[in-house]
Amino acid sequence: MIDSHCHLDHEPLFNDLDNVLNRSKEVGIKKLLTICTTFESFIKIKQLVNKDDIIYGTYGIHPHEAKNDKVTSKLIIQEIKANKKIIGIGETGLDFYYNLSDKKYQIKSFEEHIKASIELKIPLIIHSRNAENEMLEILNEYKKYNLKILMHCFTGSKKFAESLLDLNAYFSASGIITFKNSSDLQETFKSIPLEKTLIETDSPYLAPVPNRGKKNEPSFVKYTAEKLADIKQIPLSDLIKSTTSNFNRLFS
Protein backbone atom coordinates (compact mmCIF):
# COMPACT_ATOMS: atom_id res chain seq x y z
CA MET A 1 0.00 0.00 0.00
CA ILE A 2 0.93 3.64 -0.42
CA ASP A 3 -0.29 6.47 1.79
CA SER A 4 -0.43 9.21 -0.83
CA HIS A 5 -0.98 12.06 1.63
CA CYS A 6 0.19 12.40 5.23
CA HIS A 7 1.77 15.10 7.37
CA LEU A 8 4.72 13.48 9.12
CA ASP A 9 5.98 16.92 10.13
CA HIS A 10 2.92 17.36 12.40
CA GLU A 11 2.63 16.07 15.93
CA PRO A 12 2.27 13.46 17.29
CA LEU A 13 3.81 11.83 14.19
CA PHE A 14 7.06 13.79 14.00
CA ASN A 15 8.30 12.94 17.48
CA ASP A 16 7.19 9.31 17.21
CA LEU A 17 8.53 8.72 13.72
CA ASP A 18 10.33 5.42 14.35
CA ASN A 19 7.19 3.80 15.77
CA VAL A 20 4.99 5.34 13.07
CA LEU A 21 7.28 3.90 10.38
CA ASN A 22 7.41 0.47 12.02
CA ARG A 23 3.62 0.26 12.21
CA SER A 24 3.38 1.44 8.59
CA LYS A 25 5.72 -1.26 7.37
CA GLU A 26 3.92 -3.91 9.43
CA VAL A 27 0.67 -3.31 7.50
CA GLY A 28 2.49 -3.37 4.16
CA ILE A 29 3.04 0.30 3.30
CA LYS A 30 5.78 0.71 0.69
CA LYS A 31 5.76 4.50 0.30
CA LEU A 32 4.65 7.51 2.33
CA LEU A 33 4.18 10.91 0.72
CA THR A 34 4.53 13.61 3.36
CA ILE A 35 2.92 16.86 2.27
CA CYS A 36 4.21 20.41 2.63
CA THR A 37 1.85 23.18 3.75
CA THR A 38 4.12 26.11 4.74
CA PHE A 39 7.70 27.34 4.39
CA GLU A 40 8.35 26.13 7.93
CA SER A 41 6.87 22.72 7.23
CA PHE A 42 9.29 22.20 4.33
CA ILE A 43 12.28 22.51 6.67
CA LYS A 44 11.10 19.35 8.46
CA ILE A 45 10.11 17.59 5.23
CA LYS A 46 13.64 17.94 3.87
CA GLN A 47 14.81 16.14 7.01
CA LEU A 48 12.06 13.52 6.89
CA VAL A 49 12.72 12.30 3.33
CA ASN A 50 16.24 11.36 4.38
CA LYS A 51 15.08 9.39 7.43
CA ASP A 52 13.84 6.33 5.53
CA ASP A 53 13.70 5.03 1.97
CA ILE A 54 9.89 4.83 2.01
CA ILE A 55 9.42 8.56 2.73
CA TYR A 56 8.93 11.01 -0.14
CA GLY A 57 7.83 14.63 0.04
CA THR A 58 6.25 17.58 -1.73
CA TYR A 59 6.77 21.32 -1.75
CA GLY A 60 3.92 23.82 -1.68
CA ILE A 61 1.79 26.24 0.31
CA HIS A 62 -1.67 25.29 1.60
CA PRO A 63 -4.44 27.67 0.48
CA HIS A 64 -5.06 28.66 4.11
CA GLU A 65 -1.49 29.97 4.21
CA ALA A 66 -1.48 31.70 0.83
CA LYS A 67 -1.79 35.18 2.34
CA ASN A 68 1.11 34.60 4.74
CA ASP A 69 3.54 32.43 2.75
CA LYS A 70 3.63 34.06 -0.68
CA VAL A 71 5.34 31.65 -3.04
CA THR A 72 6.49 31.94 -6.66
CA SER A 73 6.83 29.28 -9.33
CA LYS A 74 10.55 30.09 -9.47
CA LEU A 75 10.99 29.26 -5.77
CA ILE A 76 8.95 26.05 -6.07
CA ILE A 77 11.05 24.89 -9.02
CA GLN A 78 14.28 25.78 -7.23
CA GLU A 79 13.39 23.84 -4.07
CA ILE A 80 12.17 20.74 -5.91
CA LYS A 81 15.18 20.56 -8.24
CA ALA A 82 17.42 20.57 -5.17
CA ASN A 83 16.00 17.31 -3.76
CA LYS A 84 15.27 14.16 -5.75
CA LYS A 85 12.85 12.83 -3.11
CA ILE A 86 10.53 15.83 -3.46
CA ILE A 87 8.19 14.43 -6.09
CA GLY A 88 5.05 16.57 -6.03
CA ILE A 89 3.81 20.16 -5.81
CA GLY A 90 1.42 21.14 -3.06
CA GLU A 91 -0.67 20.99 -1.02
CA THR A 92 -2.16 23.81 -3.08
CA GLY A 93 -5.62 24.74 -4.28
CA LEU A 94 -8.66 26.71 -3.15
CA ASP A 95 -10.63 26.66 0.10
CA PHE A 96 -13.48 29.14 0.45
CA TYR A 97 -15.23 27.35 3.31
CA TYR A 98 -14.42 29.78 6.10
CA ASN A 99 -14.16 33.16 4.38
CA LEU A 100 -13.38 34.83 1.09
CA SER A 101 -11.08 37.59 2.38
CA ASP A 102 -7.97 35.85 1.02
CA LYS A 103 -9.52 34.61 -2.22
CA LYS A 104 -7.22 36.62 -4.49
CA TYR A 105 -4.16 35.36 -2.59
CA GLN A 106 -5.31 31.75 -2.89
CA ILE A 107 -5.89 32.07 -6.63
CA LYS A 108 -2.50 33.74 -7.19
CA SER A 109 -0.72 31.09 -5.12
CA PHE A 110 -2.54 28.25 -6.88
CA GLU A 111 -1.54 29.59 -10.29
CA GLU A 112 2.11 29.83 -9.22
CA HIS A 113 1.99 26.15 -8.22
CA ILE A 114 0.39 25.26 -11.55
CA LYS A 115 3.13 27.07 -13.49
CA ALA A 116 5.79 25.15 -11.57
CA SER A 117 3.98 21.88 -12.27
CA ILE A 118 3.96 22.65 -15.99
CA GLU A 119 7.68 23.43 -15.95
CA LEU A 120 8.68 20.37 -13.91
CA LYS A 121 6.06 17.99 -15.32
CA ILE A 122 5.21 16.60 -11.88
CA PRO A 123 1.85 16.26 -10.11
CA LEU A 124 -0.13 18.92 -8.33
CA ILE A 125 -1.63 17.82 -5.01
CA ILE A 126 -4.85 19.82 -4.90
CA HIS A 127 -7.02 20.79 -1.94
CA SER A 128 -10.50 21.94 -2.97
CA ARG A 129 -13.31 22.96 -0.62
CA ASN A 130 -16.36 25.07 -1.46
CA ALA A 131 -14.63 26.15 -4.66
CA GLU A 132 -15.73 23.74 -7.39
CA ASN A 133 -16.62 26.35 -10.01
CA GLU A 134 -13.50 28.44 -9.45
CA MET A 135 -11.32 25.33 -9.40
CA LEU A 136 -12.63 24.11 -12.75
CA GLU A 137 -12.36 27.56 -14.29
CA ILE A 138 -8.67 27.80 -13.40
CA LEU A 139 -7.77 24.22 -14.32
CA ASN A 140 -9.51 24.54 -17.66
CA GLU A 141 -7.40 27.61 -18.44
CA TYR A 142 -4.36 25.32 -18.29
CA LYS A 143 -5.96 22.27 -19.91
CA LYS A 144 -3.71 22.42 -22.98
CA TYR A 145 -0.70 21.69 -20.75
CA ASN A 146 -2.00 18.24 -19.73
CA LEU A 147 -1.52 18.87 -16.02
CA LYS A 148 -0.85 15.98 -13.66
CA ILE A 149 -3.59 16.38 -11.06
CA LEU A 150 -4.24 14.58 -7.78
CA MET A 151 -7.38 15.67 -5.94
CA HIS A 152 -6.39 15.05 -2.34
CA CYS A 153 -8.99 13.90 0.23
CA PHE A 154 -11.66 14.26 -2.43
CA THR A 155 -15.10 15.14 -1.04
CA GLY A 156 -16.59 16.88 -4.06
CA SER A 157 -19.76 16.14 -5.96
CA LYS A 158 -20.13 13.45 -8.60
CA LYS A 159 -20.59 16.19 -11.21
CA PHE A 160 -17.33 17.82 -10.08
CA ALA A 161 -15.57 14.45 -10.32
CA GLU A 162 -16.85 13.93 -13.85
CA SER A 163 -15.53 17.34 -14.92
CA LEU A 164 -12.15 16.58 -13.34
CA LEU A 165 -11.97 13.23 -15.11
CA ASP A 166 -12.13 15.19 -18.36
CA LEU A 167 -8.91 16.84 -17.15
CA ASN A 168 -7.34 13.41 -16.54
CA ALA A 169 -7.33 13.90 -12.76
CA TYR A 170 -6.70 11.27 -10.10
CA PHE A 171 -8.69 11.13 -6.85
CA SER A 172 -7.49 10.17 -3.39
CA ALA A 173 -9.90 8.61 -0.90
CA SER A 174 -9.36 9.41 2.78
CA GLY A 175 -10.84 8.04 6.00
CA ILE A 176 -13.94 10.16 5.35
CA ILE A 177 -15.31 7.38 3.13
CA THR A 178 -15.59 5.19 6.25
CA PHE A 179 -17.85 7.69 8.07
CA LYS A 180 -21.54 6.87 8.46
CA ASN A 181 -22.67 10.15 6.88
CA SER A 182 -20.53 9.73 3.74
CA SER A 183 -22.99 7.78 1.56
CA ASP A 184 -22.95 10.40 -1.22
CA LEU A 185 -19.15 10.40 -1.26
CA GLN A 186 -19.11 6.61 -1.32
CA GLU A 187 -21.37 6.67 -4.39
CA THR A 188 -19.04 9.17 -6.04
CA PHE A 189 -16.02 6.96 -5.44
CA LYS A 190 -17.98 4.00 -6.74
CA SER A 191 -18.34 5.90 -10.04
CA ILE A 192 -14.69 7.00 -10.28
CA PRO A 193 -12.63 4.57 -12.39
CA LEU A 194 -10.38 2.32 -10.33
CA GLU A 195 -7.39 3.35 -12.47
CA LYS A 196 -7.87 6.95 -11.30
CA THR A 197 -8.05 6.18 -7.58
CA LEU A 198 -5.52 6.45 -4.75
CA ILE A 199 -5.76 6.14 -0.96
CA GLU A 200 -4.49 8.39 1.82
CA THR A 201 -4.74 9.13 5.53
CA ASP A 202 -4.19 12.92 5.71
CA SER A 203 -2.77 11.95 9.09
CA PRO A 204 -2.73 13.07 11.83
CA TYR A 205 -6.25 14.18 10.80
CA LEU A 206 -9.41 12.32 9.73
CA ALA A 207 -8.80 8.95 11.33
CA PRO A 208 -11.02 6.31 9.71
CA VAL A 209 -13.52 4.08 11.44
CA PRO A 210 -12.82 2.13 13.69
CA ASN A 211 -10.28 4.70 14.96
CA ARG A 212 -12.36 7.83 14.41
CA GLY A 213 -11.62 10.39 17.10
CA LYS A 214 -8.03 9.23 17.54
CA LYS A 215 -4.94 10.82 16.06
CA ASN A 216 -4.57 9.36 12.59
CA GLU A 217 -1.38 7.74 11.29
CA PRO A 218 -0.28 6.15 8.00
CA SER A 219 -0.87 2.55 9.14
CA PHE A 220 -4.59 3.35 9.40
CA VAL A 221 -4.74 3.64 5.60
CA LYS A 222 -5.58 -0.07 5.63
CA TYR A 223 -9.08 0.75 6.89
CA THR A 224 -9.67 3.18 4.04
CA ALA A 225 -8.39 0.55 1.60
CA GLU A 226 -10.78 -2.04 3.04
CA LYS A 227 -13.75 0.32 2.78
CA LEU A 228 -12.89 1.38 -0.75
CA ALA A 229 -12.56 -2.25 -1.84
CA ASP A 230 -16.02 -2.85 -0.37
CA ILE A 231 -17.42 0.19 -2.22
CA LYS A 232 -15.84 -0.98 -5.46
CA GLN A 233 -16.94 -4.58 -4.77
CA ILE A 234 -13.49 -5.96 -5.54
CA PRO A 235 -11.00 -8.00 -3.49
CA LEU A 236 -8.82 -5.93 -1.16
CA SER A 237 -5.70 -7.29 -2.88
CA ASP A 238 -6.92 -5.90 -6.22
CA LEU A 239 -7.65 -2.51 -4.67
CA ILE A 240 -4.19 -2.33 -3.12
CA LYS A 241 -2.50 -3.42 -6.32
CA SER A 242 -4.38 -0.83 -8.39
CA THR A 243 -3.95 2.13 -6.05
CA THR A 244 -0.25 1.36 -5.69
CA SER A 245 0.18 1.12 -9.46
CA ASN A 246 -1.77 4.36 -9.93
CA PHE A 247 0.48 6.23 -7.50
CA ASN A 248 3.64 4.94 -9.18
CA ARG A 249 2.31 5.85 -12.62
CA LEU A 250 1.23 9.35 -11.60
CA PHE A 251 4.49 10.15 -9.79
CA SER A 252 6.67 8.25 -12.30
Q: Name the nearest CA neighbour of 182 among 212, 162, 203.
A: 212
Residue 49 confidence (pLDDT): 98
The confidence band for 43, taking pLDDT boundaries of 50, 70 and 90, is very high
Residues 58-99 pLDDT 10s: 999 999 999 999 999 999 999 999 999 999 999 999 999 987
Rounded to an integer, the average pLDDT of 218-232 is 98
Residues spanned by the domain of 13: 2-250
Residue 29 confidence (pLDDT): 98
Contact 10, 204 (CB under 8 A): yes
Contact 78, 112 (CB under 8 A): no
Residue 196 confidence (pLDDT): 98
What are the helix (H) ranges across 101-234?
103-120, 132-141, 158-165, 183-191, 221-232
Q: Looking at the predicted structure, is the pLDDT value of residue 122 above 80?
A: yes
Contact 57, 80 (CB under 8 A): no
CA-angle at 180, arms to 177 and 181, nearest 5° = 85
Cα 233 to Cα 16, 229, 237, distances in angstroms: 35, 6, 12
Residues 125-165 pLDDT 10s: 999 999 999 999 999 999 999 999 999 999 999 999 999 99
Residues 20-30 pLDDT 10s: 999 999 999 99
* Domain total of the chain: 1
The CATH number of residue 101's host domain is 3.20.20.140
pTM: 0.96
The whole-angstrom separation of Cα 217 and Cα 175 is 11
